[in-house]
Amino acid sequence: MKIFREWRRSCLRKILNREPTDQELEDEIKMIRETKFGDPYQAEDWAYLLRDFVPVFHKENRIKKARLAATKRHSKKK
């Protein structure tokens, strides 16, 4: 959901030419949730659009795990 939210925020930023408010973002997500997919490939198209955001969050998760592991190792040495 974090990736989806960032993707929609980016899309709204392009449409509005400004940073969207939290309420605008929530309204956009609500509208998307209510949308029925008519084309079976539409969900795949959305997933394809998300590909730019996945590596960013993957990198963030790796950094968090590495920091946690380093903290654990450091606390064992004391």
Q: State pLDDT tens for residues 17-72.
A: 999 999 999 999 998 888 776 766 666 677 777 777 778 778 888 888 999 988 88
Q: Which residue has the higher pLDDT, 53 or 9?
A: 9
- pTM strictly above 0.75: no
At residue 11, the pLDDT reads 87
d(CA 19, CA 29): 16
Nearest-Å Rg of the Cα atoms of the chain is: 18
At residue 40, the pLDDT reads 67
Q: Is-contact 28 10, C-beta < 8 A?
A: no
Q: How confident is the model at residue 7 (pLDDT cuts 50, 70, 90)?
A: confident
